[in-house]
Amino acid sequence: MSDRFYITTAIDYSNGEPHLGHAYEKIGADCVARYRRLRGQHVSFVIGMDEHGQKVAQSAEEQGTEPQAWVDDIAARFQTAWRELSISNTDFIRTTETRHRRTVEELFRRIRQAGHISEGVYEGYYCVGCEAFKLEKDLVDGLCPIHPTRPISWVKEPNYFFAVGRFRRALLDLYDARPEFVQPTAKLNEVRNVVSDWADDQTISVSRSRVPWGIPWPDDPSHVVYVWFEALINYLSATGYPDPAFADMWPADMHVIGPDIVRFHAALWPAMLMAAGLEPPRQVWCHGWITTQGARFSKSAGVRITLRDIIDRHGPDALRYFVLREVPWNADGNFSWDRFDVRYTAELADGYGNLASRVLAMVGRYLQGRIPDRAEPTTLDAAGDEIVAAYRTAMDRHLLHEGADLTWKLVDRANGFVEERAPWTLAKEGRTGELEEALAALARALARITLLASPFMPTKTQSIWEALGLPGTVADVPWGYVERPPTGGAASRKPPPLFPKDERES
C-alpha cells in the first residue's frame, strides 16, 4: 500500500441546494478517506463545485441574480452542509477560481500543441440537464431519458473539436489491462460500448453567444470551453498542475462518481490526459442511485424530502451510518423513513449505544472507572480478530456496506458477551478476577468497534473514544490500535447521551 491516497468526488452543479444524492456521494468518499487515514495513508480528499455552463447560468437568471453572486451563495450552502456532515475534505475547488482556469488553459495548450484540436461545425441535440451533446438514438420520445422534464435543444454552430477517436485503441487496451479501472465491472462494459461507438471528433467549445458563462476559449473570444471538458480538469487543478509538485498527488487513486457520468470520467477524461501526455487516474468508482419511492433524489425529479429534514431526524452521524449501511456502495438503494428509524433504534440506540453505556457504566460502578490491565484473550477477542481481518479485506476493496455490517456483527457479539458473563453477578459474588477479565475484554471490544465505526460516524465514535479515556482521536490513531486496543489502565467515564430515542419511536 502506498503512503499516499488521492480521492475526489464529482463537483456538484451550482444549480440548487444539496440533496441526499450529493450527500451520499460525499459521505461514502469521506468514509473511504477516513478508512485510508486509519490505515496510515496520507489522504488528499478533494470535493467542490461545478460553476460554469448553461444550467448554472439559467438558475442564476431564474433567481434574478448575477451568475458569480449565485455560485458564491450556493458554494457556501454546500460547504455548510459538508461541515455539518463531518466531511473531511482537504480542499474545496470551485471552477470559477483562478487556479482552475490556469490549469485548464495549460492542459488545453498541451493538447492543442500535440495536434489533437481542430475547428469545424457542430449540428445536433444538446441536453442542458446533462450539459451534453446527444445523438438521436440517445433520446426517448424526443427527450433526454435522464432529464425528461427539460426540453432538448437543437444547436448548429462553429466549434472546436477534440480528436477523441485517436485514443479509442489506447482506452480499450487500458480497460483490458486494468479491469479494476472502473468499478463495478458492469459499468466497464457500458464504457467499452461508448468508446467503441465514439465519433472521431467531439466538440469541446460552445459559442459564447449561446452560453456566455464559462472559461473563454484561449485566443478565440467568440467561444467558451465546453463545461464538461473544463469541469473534469478540476481534479488536476487541485494538484497545482502545471507546478511540478502536482506529481506528488497525480495520478488520482479514486474518482468517486454517480452512474450518469461514468462515461465522462472513464472515457473522455483519460483521453484528455493521454492527449496531454499525462497518466489516467487509477480508478473510477461508480456508486449507485439513491432513490425514495422509486424516484431519484435530484433537483428536477421533484422529490420533496430535503437534506435538512433527513439530518434533523436523528443527527448527522446517524444519517452517515444509515446511508452507508442501507445502500451498497456499488449498487442502487432506497431511502425510507421507516428503515431509517428501524436501523437507528435497533443498531445505534439499542446496539452500539447500549453496549457503550453498559460497559462504561459497569466499569464505573464495579471498578471505580479504571479499565483493568488484563490481557487474557477471551472468545470475544477471538471473534474480534476474525472480524477485524474480514473488515480490512472488505474496506480495502471499498465495500463499505460490508465493513459496516461486520462492525455491527461485533457489536452483537459484544452485547451477547455481556449477557453470557453477567458482570453484575460476578460483582455480587465477589469474583473480582473474572469480573476484571470480562470488563477488560468488553472495553477492548468497544474500543475496536469504535475505531472500525469511526469512518462511518466520526463524531459519535470520538465521544465514545474519549469516554473510554483513550489517547489521541479516532481520526489520528495508528491502525495498530485496532489490532491491540490500548485500554488497560485507562480512566473511563460516562459518555454523553449517544443515540437518544425520541417520542416518535416510543
Closer residue to ligand ME8, CB minimum distance, 50 or 106: 50
**183 versus 492: smaller Cβ distance to ligand ME8:** 183
User: CA 337, CA 242: separation in Å to the nearest integer?
Assistant: 47
CB of 272 to ligand ME8, least distance (A): 11
Terminal CA-CA length for the chain: 47
Nearer to ligand ME8, 45 or 408 (CB): 45
For residue 242, is the peptide bond before it cis, meaning its omega torsion is within 30 degrees of 0?
yes
Q: Which is nearer to ligand ME8, 203 or 461 (CB)?
A: 203
Q: How many helices (H) and strands (E) does the chain have?
A: 20, 16
Q: Which one, 250 or 289, has the nearer CB to ligand ME8?
A: 289
Locate 391 and state its grid cell: 473488515
Distance (Å, whole) CA 379 – CA 382: 5
Cell numbers for 341, please give them. Answer: 428509524
Q: State the Cα–Cα distance between residues 346 and 485, nearest whole angstrom.
A: 26
Shortest Cβ distance from residue 301 to ligand ME8 (Å)?
A: 8
Give the Cα-Cα-Cα angle 417, 481, 25 (nearest 5 degrees): 90
- To the nearest whole angstrom, how small is the minimum distance from the Cβ of residue 303 to ligand ME8? 8
Helical residues (DSSP H) of 178-303, grouped into ranges? 185-197, 227-232, 234-237, 262-263, 269-275
Distance in Å, CB of 18 to ligand ME8, minimum: 9
Tell me how far, at minimum, the Cβ of 264 lies from ligand ME8, in Å. 7
Q: Three-state SS across 343-356? A: HHHHHHHHHHHHHH
| Smaller CB separation from ligand ME8, 287 or 392 | 287
> Given the complex with ligand ME8, which of 18 and 469 has the nearer CB atom?
18
Q: Note whether 198 and 164 are within 8 A (CB).
A: yes
Minimum Å gap between C-beta 342 and ligand ME8 is: 21
Total residues belonging to the chain: 506
Nearest position to ligand ME8, beta carbon: 258
Residues 180-196 as b or e (16 or more Cβ within 10 Å = b):
ebbbeeebbebbbebbe
Q: How far is the CB of 327 from ligand ME8 (least distance, A)?
A: 9
Residues that bind ligand ME8 (CB under 6 A): 10-13, 21-22, 24-25, 50, 231-232, 234, 257-258, 260-261, 289-290, 296-298
CB closer to ligand ME8 out of 10 and 182: 10
Helix (H) or strand (E) segment spanning residue 29 = helix 20-38
Minimum CB separation of residue 298 from ligand ME8 in Å reads 5
